[in-house]
Structure formats: structure tokens, C-alpha cells
Structure 1
Amino acid sequence: MGAGNSADDIAAMEIHHWYTKFMRECPSGQLCLHEFKSVLGLQGLNPEANSYVEKVFHIFDMNEDGFIDFLEFIAAINLVIRGKIDQKLKWYFKLYDADGNGTIDKKELVSIFTAVQAINGNSEMSPEDYTSMVFQKIDVNNDGELTLEEFINGVESDEALLEMISKSFDLSNVLKVIQSGRRHSI
């Protein structure tokens, strides 16, 4: 019998690896918003981009204590790395629904796309044009609002839109920064 690693052993080693990286970046075991921005090199952003970063932080801060602890961090990594597309789309929907009313309107989407462009520097299309295109493709009842169902069904059924949204909101850079242990100066 060979001594192979079970899936549980591999998962435990991976979690230990991420724990070591996390604790190197935030020895207190809790990442506050300021540290989150600093670790990712996201200081001095315009108001829209800053608002987006804060919203991402607060969504990862599941217990709403003002910090991302290791368990919240692992949950975020799990979503980014292993999450199924519908899980990611539900997360994106929550991120886009700024007022929390259960729908995304054009103003909320323009705001998010403006923020993402400010962070990523991606400007193939203006935020307004991008928003119009998204609504034209997936606002089934043409009411100017996207429900969770419309959003998930619409994005999943349009390969180009799915790819565009996935690339625009790729959070793997968060993981790369922490994995490399690179801390940006404040």
C-alpha cells in the first residue's frame, strides 16, 4: 500500500499554507479595511472605486465586526477558487445591489462598472454603454431592474457576458498578493 495523500490531508495542507500567508500579512489575525486596501495597493482611489473596495470588504466580513478574520478569508478564497458559477453570480449580485433591495438598477450597475474601471484601468466600453448592453441582454421584462433570477439566468446563458463579468470582477489578484506576501507601503 502506497502512502498517498487523502483529499482531507491535501485540504489541511492548503488551509495551513493560506493560514501562514494570512498571518504573515496580518499578525493580529484580523484584517481591517485599511489593511485590506494597503495589502492590495488600493489607497488613493476615486470615490466610486473606494466605495467598491469597501463593499467587497464588507461582503467578506460576514459577521459584520469590521474585520476579515481567517475563517472569513478562507470562505472568500473558497468562493474565488472553487465556487460554482451560480455561487459567484449570487455574490456578484449582492455586490451590485448597493441599496440591498433585491434588484439591480442601471444606476447601481453604472456605479459598479465605473469603480471597477477605476481599479482595473479597463476601458474598452464606457460604464454607461456596458450597463446598457447588460440590461439589453438580460432584463427580460424590460422594467429597468434585474432580479437575482434574471441576472443569473441571463449571464449564464450568454457566454460573452459571463466571460466579461468574470474578467471584470476577478478577485484572484487578492489571492496573488497575499500568496506572494507582498505588502504595499502605506
Structure 2
Amino acid sequence: MGNNKSSLDELYQCESHEWYRKFMTECPSGLLTYYEFKQFFGLKNLSPTSNEYVQSMFSTFDMNDDGFIDFMEYVAALSLVLKGGVQQKLRWYFKLYDVDGSGCIDREELLLIIRSIRAISGSDDGMTAEDFTNMVFDKIDADGDGELSYEEFMEGIQADEMLLERFTQSLDLTHIVAKIYGEVQMMEPNKH
């Protein structure tokens, strides 16, 4: 006990009614707005770039594009984060990176997201966001057109172990889920 795997197992086994109670405590209307989304995850005083990234993330979770995240969308997002396979996560990453919805990711879109992720997480892997973006395009832009199609992105990332690891780590949201789970656990003693 006490190891990382057991804490992840506890996250996976958290009962849905606890998630529902937490969701409804934070969002009594049953609909999470963008403002509440930021509050829910403790995202304050964001730079304009980071704010754009969070807005993109909110939009990808808002699957029916109604401007809100309802409980089912919330559960789907958590399920993706906790249990989603590589293919599912890469599909979600592609949608997140394709800021303008064109079906392709250009350098500016990828650069914007990489800068935003780094600003929010405070991470720096020794490579500038520009260098990382250029490396991604050099490695996986198969036709050299300056845009990554869905196929190029999916095949290229999966074929390069280092890129797959970096993308997976950069969008690892388990710390956010752990925060929510911790708050649910703190609520538990009060329920009796």
C-alpha cells in the first residue's frame, strides 16, 4: 500500500455517486460554465495564452457545443483521462490542438498549445516551445505542407516513442483528478 499504483486504483474505483455529489456541490445547476470550470480546477490569474488553452480544453469537453459541461460530459472527460487508451487520448489531443477546427494542426496552433501547457504546468524540459514545435513538424509532417493531418498526427506520434511520451506527459491530468478525489474524500467523514 501507499504506492502510486494503489492511489491510482483508488481513483479508478471512486464511486460515481461521489463524483456526482462533488459535481453538484460545485455546480448546483448541473451545468459547468467556463468560469466555473476554471474555478473547479483552481485556474486563476492565467495569461491570455494560457486562458486560450483552457478555453480550448473546455470546448473539447463540451461535446455538444452548448457552452456548458454537464455531468455526462464530465464523466466522459474523467473516463478519458483515467482509463482512455493511447488512441483515444491522441484523438482528444488532436481535437484540442486543432484550435480553429480545420481538421489540421498548423505550427501556430501547436505552438500556442505547447506554450500554454508550459505556462499552466510550469514545466520546462530544456527545449523551447518553438524548438519542440519545429521538432514535431520535422518528424511527423510527412508531406511537408506545414500542417499535420489527423493521420499524420496519429501515425507520427505513435511511431515515435519520445514524442508519444512527451505528449502524454504534457497533458497528464491525473493531478487534477487526484485533487478532485482528495476533496471528495475530505467530504466523506461529514456524510455520516
Alignment TM class, shorter chain as reference: 0.7 to 0.9
Q: SS of 2:42's equivalent?
A: coil
> Is the 1:31–1:67 contact (alpha carbons within 8 Å) kept by the matching residues of 2?
yes
* TM-score normalised over the length of structure 1: 0.86
| Pair 1:32 & 2:33 matched | yes
What is the deviation of 1:26? Answer: 2.2
Two-structure CA RMSD over aligned residues (Å): 1.8
Higher RCO, Cα 8 Å, sep 6+: 1
| Pair 1:139 & 2:136 matched | no
Q: Give the letter aligned to residue 119 of structure 2.
A: A
Structure with the largest fraction of helix: 2
What is the deviation of 1:83? Answer: 1.2
Q: Give the letter aligned to residue 139 of structure 2.
A: K
Q: SS of 2:32's equivalent?
A: strand
Sequence identity (%) = 51
Aligned to 1:155: 157
Q: Give the letter aligned to residue 71 of structure 1.
A: M
Q: SS of 1:56's equivalent?
A: helix
Partner Cα separation in structure 2 for residue 107 and residue 66 of structure 1: 25
Q: Give the letter aligned to residue 120 of structure 1.
A: S
Q: Which one of 126, 129, 134 corresponds to residue 127 of structure 1?
A: 129
What is the deviation of 1:29? Answer: 1.8
Aligned to 2:53: 52
What is the deviation of 1:12? Answer: 9.8
Q: How does 1:36-185 map onto structure 2 within 5 Å?
A: 36-124=37-125, 125-181=127-183
Q: SS of 1:181's equivalent?
A: helix
Partner Cα separation in structure 2 for residue 31 and residue 178 of structure 1: 15
What is the deviation of 1:174? Answer: 2.8
Q: Give the letter aligned to residue 65 of structure 1.
A: D
* TM-score normalised over the length of structure 2: 0.84
Q: Which structure 1 residue ranges, 5 or more long, are not aligned?
A: 1-10
Which stretch shifts more, 156-165 or 173-182? 173-182
Partner Cα separation in structure 1 for residue 175 and residue 67 of structure 2: 22
Partner Cα separation in structure 1 for residue 49 and residue 79 of structure 2: 27
What is the deviation of 1:181? Answer: 2.1
Change (3 A) 1:14 1:145: same
Q: Give the letter aligned to residue 115 of structure 2.
A: T
**How many residues are matched?**
172
What is the deviation of 1:96? Answer: 0.4
Q: Give the letter aligned to residue 101 of structure 1.
A: S
Partner Cα separation in structure 2 for residue 152 and residue 13 of structure 1: 31
**Structure 1 residues 14-34: Cα deviation after superposition (integer angstroms, max 9, x where no partner):** 222321222232232221111
